[in-house]
Amino acid sequence: MVHLRSKRVWNKGKSVGQKKPFTPDQVKSLKIMMCNQGNLRDLALFSVAIDTMLRSCDLLNLKVADVCFDNGVVREEFQVMQKKTGEGTLVALSDETQKSLKEWIKAALIYKYSGNIEAVRQLLGQKSVTATSAYLNVGKREALSLAKEVKI
């Protein structure tokens, strides 16, 4: 005799498909919450997403060079080649988003030039160096490169 187990569908009764967009009040509340928590990275990324209205695949492909000039100044607007359409589109960043990007990128640059992750942790107001390492994407290869530079 074969016993058939019924499988529970993981999304049964859950909302699927496109969700309603955030209201302006919800966006403001989320930004305030991230700011109050000192979550600079999430605030910067969320703000870029809201300002540019880009698809997630296009947001994930953004580089610092896309949003900053060579001298580190955050751009007011920049061109993005959209993955889905293959067409370029001009996007703009609000003053608030430019400010949060500048602060977030500054922390990454301080680490790049100083290698002092504890100083960056304090600047970002994070509780652990582990979180700061993950935030800065400090991997084993980079750690090994830093270790090789130490001369005894």
The DSSP line for 88-139 is EEEEE--HHHHHHHHHHHHHHHHHHHH--HHHHHHHHT-S-HHHHHHHHT--
Euclidean distance between CA atoms 94 and 75, whole angstroms? 10
Please give the residue that has the higher pLDDT: either 135 or 88.
88
Q: Could you tell me which residues are beta bridge partners of residue 91?
A: 78
Please give the residue that has the higher pLDDT: either 141 or 19.
19
- pTM of the entire predicted model: 0.67
Calculate the average pLDDT of the chain.
84
Q: What is the pLDDT of residues 22-43, one digit of tens each?
A: 999 999 999 999 888 877 788 9
* Residue of 94, 87, 41, 37 lying closest to 64 (CA atoms): 41
pLDDT score of 28: 96
pLDDT score of 109: 77
SS3 21: coil
Instruction: Using alpha carbons only, give the angle 38, 26, 44 rounded to the nearest 5 degrees.
Output: 35
> Domain locations in the chain?
24-149
